[in-house]
Structure 1
């Protein structure tokens, strides 16, 4: 006598839950963000007119990540001024620390102070203000600066500094409205910033649409 096993109805295919789909979408978004951050681009908003006329308040710019060896004189760069241009914030704790870690992976740094300026002096160079024609001198040679804001002088603050190794001297194009290396001569590094704090080089304006365009490197780059 043979017996037959009762057949079991096939289990219905379970569709992913909304929660599962959200996790998957978040994972993909994180992966894309990490790839973009690793290879290339971040965006920043211009908060002031210190870089006018090259960059104006309210514009959003694309910043190409560069290594220390790729920074040249004339580059417009975004850098983290924490500890030099701005005081160091307290270390986050608990959930704030977790949020900061996740934000760091995505390229956002809560509480971080980012600045945009132009590189004028490179490591080991001597930058001086000014010669008889009112021009900056780099290693004794006058620096032509066609990017300066109309009506501005090269600097209304006299200085003479040798840029330490691994650091750069930065200034805004709108010299009369820029808080830059000149304003931090008494700070650690004499107003210079570490190359490792450079986030990247500004390569283009991405917003508003009417002002989209590339940002050229300056004379001497």
Structure 2
């Protein structure tokens, strides 16, 4: 009698043991899930902070995306007032180890006379302005500076002017081949050139570029407010090299415009030819 009763008790205990084990497993799974969820929310602020720091480092020292707002660099870079122009990637590393060369397309800060028409994009509200500055540091908001994009035509020590008999820009007396220029002011020897009563809009100079400066011009010559516009100021329109932000490398948007930005070597600096 004892053995059967014992057997019956054993048979009754086994299902209870399995149930308790399943309950413990379910409880453990729920607890683990709670811990995982809690861990994610605890780590999220750290992940966001790391992402912001990385964005700041990349935007400040490595590369930044800029929007082309005008048509001054057509057809190389597309843009126009009120429309969505090309977005270009400007890398900031190259010029830490080398100097800008004629033919490069680059972004620079327009200071002095270059900034005479610039209007700040920052809010007058202190709090909003502070948030804008923080957003700018991590690349969410455009920087509050007069950033311009043009092509280098001449560098410090060179002399630039226009025009020769064919209407070409001269650097150190040699005509510059500029395949990227499609639109320019009219120039016809004897009818409208640099010696006629009504001079061609191409004509300027000669200008000797100060050391550590560069002469910048837009590819769309009759729609570009560039170094020619500021001849007569303290540096005769040349831009200090220290104002250079970086080299324009790629068009990244819109997708139909993806590609590298042409930067042919249009003229060797004087020092490299000697």
Determine if the TM-score, normalized by the shorter chain, exceeds 0.5.
Answer: yes
What does residue range 1-221 of structure 1 map to in structure 2 within 5 Å? 15=38, 21=43, 23-37=45-59, 39-57=61-79, 58-65=85-92, 66-67=94-95, 69-87=98-116, 95=127, 98-99=130-131, 102-103=134-135, 105-106=137-138, 110-150=143-183, 152=185, 156-220=202-266
Task: Please state which structure has a larger fraction of its residues in helix.
Answer: 2
TM-score (norm 1): 0.80
Identify which range, 31-40 or 66-75, moves more after superposition: 31-40
Instruction: Report if aligned partners of 2:86, 2:254 keep a CA contact under 8 Å in 1.
Output: yes
Instruction: Report if aligned partners of 1:78, 1:199 keep a CA contact under 8 Å in 2.
Output: yes
Instruction: Report if aligned partners of 1:77, 1:202 keep a CA contact under 8 Å in 2.
Output: yes
Instruction: Report if aligned partners of 2:184, 2:221 keep a CA contact under 8 Å in 1.
Output: no
- What do residues 156-214 of structure 1 show as CA deviations (whole Å, max 9, x unaligned)? 24222111111111000000010101111233322111111111111111011111111
TM-score (norm 2): 0.66
2:16 aligned partner: none
Superposed CA RMSD: 3.0
Structure 2 runs not aligned, ≥5 long:
1-33, 80-84, 188-200, 268-274
Instruction: Report if aligned partners of 1:128, 1:158 keep a CA contact under 8 Å in 2.
Output: yes
- What do residues 4-42 of structure 1 show as CA deviations (whole Å, max 9, x unaligned)? xxxxxxxx9692595x55532331122221342355221
- Residue aligned with 2:111, SS: coil
Size of the aligned set, in residue pairs, is: 209
Instruction: Report if aligned partners of 1:147, 1:218 keep a CA contact under 8 Å in 2.
Output: no
Instruction: Report if aligned partners of 1:84, 1:193 keep a CA contact under 8 Å in 2.
Output: no
Deviation for aligned residue 1:83: 2.3
Q: Give the whole-Å Cα distance in 2 for the aligned partners of 1:177 and 1:208.
A: 23
Classify 1:103/1:188 alpha carbon distance in 2 versus 1 (closer, same or farther; 3 Å): farther
Instruction: Report if aligned partners of 1:152, 1:174 keep a CA contact under 8 Å in 2.
Output: no
- What do residues 118-142 of structure 1 show as CA deviations (whole Å, max 9, x unaligned)? 0001011111111122111111111
The structure that has the greater radius of gyration is 2
Identify which range, 144-153 or 165-174, moves more after superposition: 144-153
Which structure has the higher relative contact order (CA within 8 Å, separation 6+)? 1
Structure 1 runs not aligned, ≥5 long:
1-11
